[in-house]
């Protein structure tokens, strides 16, 4: 228990907040400023009127991965664990890693990924 408590305190200092960016959707596209990733490699995107958040992660090669945070088992919303290192469904306990792959069932399929591109310092997430 003491070991766990120590680990929590360490984690709290590094990722006590989840960066959230609220925006809209235009022509099935979501636009996110690159500047948001100045201090973090993960950003939670909350598009207006969409019932699921999108997890947007900056990869080592400078590209961006956009994951729809909808459980592939029963379509429940997922919650993120701190820095976006994983996503959990409280309905049946499914878990996904930062790449959207299943780490705990009952979900069997990875999270839906959206294509992204960077144009003029803006990350464009194409919803399809």
Q: How far is CA 92 from the centre of its chain?
A: 19
Contacts with other proteins in 44-63 (CB under 8 A)? 46-53
Kindly list the distances between the CA atom of residue 88 and the CA atoms of 11, 44, 96, in Å, as whole numbers in the listed order: 18, 14, 6
Nearer to other proteins, 53 or 64 (CB): 53
3-state secondary structure of 42: strand
Q: Which stretch binds other proteins (CB under 8 A): 35-43, 57-65, 77-85, 116-124?
A: 77-85
Long-range CB contacts for residues 85-88, cutoff 8 Å, separation at least 24: 87/55, 87/111
Q: Which is nearer to other proteins, 49 or 120 (CB)?
A: 49
Please report, as ranges, the residues that interact with other proteins according to CB under 8 A. 1, 4, 7-8, 11-12, 15-20, 24-28, 46-53, 68-70, 73-75, 77, 79-83, 85-86, 88, 90-93, 97, 101-106, 108, 127
């Amino acid at each position: 228990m003491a070991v766990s408590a120590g680990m929590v305190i360490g984690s709290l200092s590094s990722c006590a907040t989840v960066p959230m960016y609220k925006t809209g959707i235009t022509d099935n596209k979501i636009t996110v400023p690159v500047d948001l990733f100045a201090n973090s490699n993960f950003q939670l995107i909350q598009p207006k009127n969409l019932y699921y958040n999108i997890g947007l992660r900056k990869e080592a090669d400078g590209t961006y991965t956009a994951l729809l945070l909808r459980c592939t088992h029963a379509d429940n919303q997922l919650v993120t664990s701190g820095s976006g290192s994983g996503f959990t469904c409280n309905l049946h306990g499914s878990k996904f890693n930062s790449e959207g792959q299943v780490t705990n069932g009952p979900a069997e399929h990875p999270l839906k990924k959206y294509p992204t591109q960077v144009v003029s310092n803006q990350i464009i997430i194409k919803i399809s």
